[in-house]
A and B are shown apart, each in its own frame.
Chain A
Amino acid sequence: MRWIRPLSAQVDETAEVVGGKAHGLLVLRRLGLPVPPGFVITTEACRAFLRDGRFPDGLDDELAAAMAALNAPAVSVRSGASVSMPGMMNTILNLDRDVDHAVATVFSSWNTPRAQTYRELHDIPHDLGTAVIVQAMVFGNLDEHSGTGVAFSRDPNTGANTPFGEVLFGHRGDAVVSGGALTEPLSHLDREPLVHNGLLDALRHIEGHYLDACYVEFTFEAGELWLLQVRPGRFVGAAAVRVATDLADEGVIDRREALLRVSPQHLRHVRTPRMVADHVLARGLGACPGVTSGRVATTTDSAVRMSVDGPVVLVRPETSPHDMRGLAAATGIVITARGGPASHAAVVARAMGKPAVVGIADLVVGAGEMSVGGHTVDEGTLVTIDGTSGEVALGRQRVVTTAADGHLRRLLEWADDVSGDRTERDEAERLSAAHSVLRKN
Chain B
Amino acid sequence: MNDLLVLHTLRCIGFAGCPRIADAVGLAESDVESELIDLAVAGLVTHSPGEFGGWGLTDAGRVADAERITGELESAGARPALTSAFDGFMVLNPELLDLCTAWQLRSVDGVMIANDHRDRAYDARVLARFAEFHERALVVCHKLSAALPRFDRYRIRLAEALKRADAGELGRVADDIGSYHAVWAELHEDLLATLGIPR
A→B interface (CB under 8 Å): 113-114, 117-118, 120-122, 234, 236-237, 263, 265-266, 268-269, 304, 307, 318, 320-325, 328-329, 341-344, 346-347, 350-351
Interface majority SS on A: helix, strand, loop or mixed?
Answer: helix
Assess the A114–B100 pair: CB atoms within 8 A: no
Assess the A118–B98 pair: CB atoms within 8 A: yes
Residues in chain B near residue A237, CB distance under 8 A? 111
B→A interface (CB under 8 Å): 12-15, 50-52, 54, 94-95, 97-102, 104-111, 113-114, 125-126, 128-129, 133, 136, 174-176, 181-182, 185-186, 188-189, 199
Interface centre among A121, A304, A307 (most CB of B within 10 A): A121
> What is the number of contacts between chain A and chain B, taking CB atoms within 8 Å?
92
Q: How far does the alpha carbon of A320 sit from the alpha carbon of B98 in the complex, in Å?
A: 17
Nearest residue, chain B, Cβ from A338: B199
**A266 partner, pick from B51, B95, B111, beta carbons under 8 A:** B111
Residues in chain A near residue B189, CB distance under 8 A? 320-322
Q: How far does the alpha carbon of A322 sit from the alpha carbon of B185 in the complex, in Å?
A: 10
Interface majority SS on B: helix, strand, loop or mixed?
Answer: helix
Q: How far does the alpha carbon of A268 sit from the alpha carbon of B181 in the complex, in Å?
A: 28
Given A122-B107, A265-B111, A268-B113, CB of A325 within 8 Å of CB of B101: no
Closest chain B CB from A126 CB (angstroms)? 13
Assess the B100–A347 pair: CB atoms within 8 A: yes
Q: How far does the alpha carbon of A324 sit from the alpha carbon of B54 in the complex, in Å?
A: 12
Assess the A344–B101 pair: CB atoms within 8 A: no
Closest chain B CB from A383 CB (angstroms)? 21
Given A121-B126, A321-B189, CB of A351 within 8 Å of CB of B97: no
Q: How far does the alpha carbon of A321 sit from the alpha carbon of B51 in the complex, in Å?
A: 17
Assess the A328–B52 pair: CB atoms within 8 A: yes
Residues in chain A near residue B188, CB distance under 8 A? 320, 344
Q: What are 26 A-B pairs with beta-carbon distances under 8 A?
A: A114-B94, A117-B129, A118-B98, A120-B129, A121-B125, A121-B129, A234-B110, A263-B108, A263-B111, A266-B109, A268-B113, A269-B113, A320-B188, A321-B12, A321-B13, A321-B189, A322-B14, A322-B189, A328-B52, A329-B51, A342-B94, A344-B185, A347-B97, A347-B104, A350-B105, A351-B176
Closest chain A CB from B16 CB (angstroms)? 9
Nearest residue, chain B, Cβ from A112: B95
Residues in chain A near residue B14, CB distance under 8 A? 320-325
Closest chain B CB from A374 CB (angstroms)? 26
Assess the B186–A329 pair: CB atoms within 8 A: no
